[in-house]
Chains A and B, each alone.
Chain A
């Protein structure tokens, strides 16, 4: 068995899988290593065999006589049963790991992650909201997923976990981070314009840093109004579409020096950017669309998503961008 293990380990080192962030990731990679080794052997037999026969039995003349072999029951049974056994082993091995993945641990830290076009929002039990997912190291974390619009899928490659966020129901995944650091989080269910921009970070920190961070974040409500607005701007991932410095256009217009400016709209009308214009645009982005960004706005409507206080804070922050 030693040779098999060393083969698996060697294959494992060559699999290009991302850093293993958890024990389950390691067990997935072991199975994958076995599959790679088994696949190489299968390819060697089938492709190698084909090339060998092709060279050995290359046509010498048009009158070549060939062997007349119609079948061989013994051989056929062998090459049906052996693959079947291998497939069943792989299936059972996979089932064991999958069962661990799907069985939600008790007493896990439960956090809520909501997908929307095109950002993730994490919410903690104490009400803190964050665009990143911040978790403590060495603790079971259960993520309860929801979606506000279409299907998204939360994917953390380093933890080998993925789960669709389906509107109208909750789904969940869990992991236990073994090492601290930052890991990529992708959306893997096609969700439109900025699907490939729906990326965030998983930050694994020590338990102390995590507790400290949670308290700091919850104190945001005590901040001055414009700073609170800046915070919301960040949490709601506004910056993924709007620049706050310079004129460069991301998906939406830049907000730098915008307050007080006059905008031309798709329908030919114009208006000055004031508090009420900003309010309308945040709550219903399709009401007035700046020329060149139509015919339909790419921005989700925040009507019903933001409280009065939050809208006011955002507008106060946007005003500070025009000096």
Chain B
């Protein structure tokens, strides 16, 4: 493995910006996603901070705000916060950055199955993302990220354009999913059986299946919405005999599985982190691997739990509540397996491990509040209140984003060949974790008290908790600034990373940091499972 002497790793193998934009190397494409997704995260994050600032106090005069001139601008900001974070950060985030970079490395392959398609996916993603951002400078959309009809049909904003943008990003997502499925089936190194794959690969595999099966539904729904707006075909518009609730069924038929597109890869990362930093084999490998698949399958049959008060029948509500409870079981299994993994381990509190433990902490709270929301009469009270806002931030931010951060610190030495300052990285965790709880825990209480979501203004009774929440958002912001500083410092002046700084067992640590273009100098032969810490 002495290729470092030749000075050829994937980063310096070719020179110039164009070499990046035309690269077919899965690692370089992973880095492209890394940069673009972080940029969009910054955009969505700024919108979030502004929203929280607006909600710091209730508005004295009707429809005049502190930050936003009026309710319309607030509604636009919440739409872009949601749409950017969902479609451009959390959904593509982990699969496109770490899936691209590490899936082939972890299974001992040279690249993904279809490298050209892989690059095409990035261009589709960028085309869609650019269109979505462009609508901010045209006629800003104010529908919320869910585009519910008939509001989205009537509003005079650029709904068609942003919906087309999401359609195109969805295409990229489908192609990436196909690529990963083919890669896992066809390109595993000799000896790398399915049951020897790292759990991150299993998670990406389950995610890809959902992406390939569910995204087309969203695409069709969005096309119908565009046709409705352009030609008035009358599918969703009640004025033309359409049914606006049908849109919600179609939308959540994709968007609920999409919740698992967001969280399954995060769960995969957590399995990697917990084993590495406790130097212990995973507890219940099979249970974790197959519970991912189980979640992926059941996730297709729970969409109606977003619609308990939409006017769907009592029977439908009962069935969806029951099925939703079932999703809780594989999730609980994973939690207990992770806990058991720590038992009798050798636990090192690196920044990555702190983020992983932060994930467990927040995901438990996201999970139990999820069970509350699955319970019919409780959801009737909580639906569309801040309780729901708090719940899905605990799952999406407390879950996916914590795992993303943990993954960045875990794999950064491998991706860039540089070490970062553990001190700064840990400090970023403290601020993000504390800030997160200060921001979102009060929102559970606000929801219980009855504060509806997507409110530009609120009654005075809600003021104090909103103030606390806003202060928390500043702590989160600071945490991410510190994280950014730690990354920039590491890139500019970090020490050279060894091949395996953490003593991890999976294959990506068996090649140098950063890896050579072809990943491994000799094709790996796998003879044991991924976490054999004996």
Chain A residues contacting B72 (CB-CB under 8 Å) are 192-193
Partner of B333, one of A79, A161, A168, A250: A79
Q: Smallest Cβ distance from B454 to chain A, in angstroms?
A: 5
Do B279 and A50 have beta carbons less than 8 Å apart?
no
Do A164 and B63 have beta carbons less than 8 Å apart?
no
Report the Cα distance A156→B217, complex, angstroms.
34
Closest chain A residue, CB of each to CB of B328: A87
Do A79 and B336 have beta carbons less than 8 Å apart?
yes
B194 contacts chain A at the CB level, 8 A cutoff: no
Do A195 and B339 have beta carbons less than 8 Å apart?
no
Do B449 and A42 have beta carbons less than 8 Å apart?
no
Chain A residues contacting B317 (CB-CB under 8 Å) are 98, 102
Q: Smallest Cβ distance from A176 to chain B, in angstroms?
A: 15
In the complex, 25 of the A-B residue pairs with CB atoms within 8 angstroms, ordered by the A residue number, are: A17-B449, A28-B381, A31-B378, A39-B368, A39-B369, A46-B335, A64-B279, A65-B346, A66-B279, A69-B340, A70-B281, A90-B375, A91-B325, A98-B321, A102-B314, A149-B150, A150-B154, A151-B244, A157-B449, A167-B238, A167-B244, A168-B243, A190-B75, A195-B71, A197-B71
Instruction: List 9 tightest A-B contacts by C-beta distance, closest first.
Output: A168-B238, A157-B450, A64-B346, A98-B376, A67-B344, A196-B455, A39-B368, A94-B375, A188-B384
B123 contacts chain A at the CB level, 8 A cutoff: no
Selecting from A54-62, A135-143, A211-219, the interface stretch reads: A54-62
A261 contacts chain B at the CB level, 8 A cutoff: no
A265 contacts chain B at the CB level, 8 A cutoff: no
A101 contacts chain B at the CB level, 8 A cutoff: yes
Known A66-B346, A194-B63, A251-B62; further 6 A-B contacts with Cβ < 8 A: A17-B381, A38-B368, A69-B344, A71-B283, A76-B337, A90-B375
B14 contacts chain A at the CB level, 8 A cutoff: no
B120 contacts chain A at the CB level, 8 A cutoff: no
B485 contacts chain A at the CB level, 8 A cutoff: no
Do B325 and A90 have beta carbons less than 8 Å apart?
yes
Interface 1/0 per residue, A187-208 and B, CB below 8 Å:
1111111111101000000000
Q: Main SS of chain A's interface residues?
A: mixed
Chain B residues contacting A64 (CB-CB under 8 Å) are 279, 346
Interface 1/0 per residue, B500-534 and A, CB below 8 Å:
00010000000000000000000000000000011
Report the Cα distance A197→B64, complex, angstroms.
12
Q: Given the known inter-chain contacts A153-B309, A197-B63, please indicate yes or no for A95 contacting B454, CB distance below 8 A.
A: no
A155 contacts chain B at the CB level, 8 A cutoff: yes
Report the Cα distance A192→B75, complex, angstroms.
7
Do B456 and A67 have beta carbons less than 8 Å apart?
no
A228 contacts chain B at the CB level, 8 A cutoff: no
Q: Given the known inter-chain contacts A69-B340, A83-B328, A87-B329, please indicate yes or no for A94 contacting B376, CB distance below 8 A.
A: yes
Q: Smallest Cβ distance from B288 to chain A, in angstroms?
A: 10
Interface 1/0 per residue, B368-382 and A, CB below 8 Å:
110110111110110
Report the Cα distance A58→B374, complex, angstroms.
37
Do A43 and B365 have beta carbons less than 8 Å apart?
yes
Closest chain A residue, CB of each to CB of B310: A164
Chain B residues contacting A27 (CB-CB under 8 Å) are 377
Chain A residues contacting B143 (CB-CB under 8 Å) are 190
Partner of B368, one of A42, A79, A168, A187: A42
Interface residues of A in 108-154 (CB under 8 A from B): 149-151, 153
Chain A residues contacting B332 (CB-CB under 8 Å) are 79-80, 83
Do A188 and B62 have beta carbons less than 8 Å apart?
no
Do A32 and B335 have beta carbons less than 8 Å apart?
no
Do A57 and B339 have beta carbons less than 8 Å apart?
no
A15 contacts chain B at the CB level, 8 A cutoff: yes
A3 contacts chain B at the CB level, 8 A cutoff: no
Report the Cα distance A99→B365, complex, angstroms.
28
Interface 1/0 per residue, B253-291 and A, CB below 8 Å:
000000000000000000000000011111111110000
Partner of A39, one of B283, B372, B376: B372
A262 contacts chain B at the CB level, 8 A cutoff: no
Interface residues, chain B, with chain A CB atoms under 8 Å away? 61-63, 70-72, 75, 142-144, 148, 150-151, 154-156, 238-239, 241-245, 278-287, 309-311, 314, 317-318, 321-322, 325-326, 328-329, 332-333, 335-337, 339-340, 342-349, 357, 360-361, 364-365, 368-369, 371-372, 374-378, 380-381, 383-385, 445, 448-450, 452-459, 503, 533-534
Report the Cα distance A280→B458, complex, angstroms.
33
Chain A residues contacting B448 (CB-CB under 8 Å) are 15-17
Report the Cα distance A74→B222, complex, angstroms.
47
Report the Cα distance A64→B365, complex, angstroms.
32
Do B459 and A35 have beta carbons less than 8 Å apart?
no
Q: Smallest Cβ distance from A220 to chain B, in angstroms?
A: 26
Do A69 and B283 have beta carbons less than 8 Å apart?
yes
Partner of A76, one of B284, B375, B534: B284
Do B381 and A160 have beta carbons less than 8 Å apart?
yes
Q: Given the known inter-chain contacts A80-B332, A97-B376, A167-B244, please indicate yes or no for A57 contacting B383, CB distance below 8 A.
A: no
Q: Given the known inter-chain contacts A66-B280, A87-B329, A90-B375, please indicate yes or no for A193 contacting B71, CB distance below 8 A.
A: yes
Instruction: Tell which of B286, B328, B349, B455 has the most Cβ of chain A within 10 Å.
Output: B455
Closest chain B residue, CB of each to CB of A166: B311
Instruction: Tell which of A67, A83, A158, A167 has the most Cβ of chain B within 10 Å.
Output: A83
Instruction: Tell which of B284, B346, B365, B456 has the most Cβ of chain A within 10 Å.
Output: B346
Q: Smallest Cβ distance from A112 to chain B, in angstroms?
A: 16
Partner of A66, one of B151, B278, B311, B321: B278
Chain A residues contacting B238 (CB-CB under 8 Å) are 166-169
A184 contacts chain B at the CB level, 8 A cutoff: yes
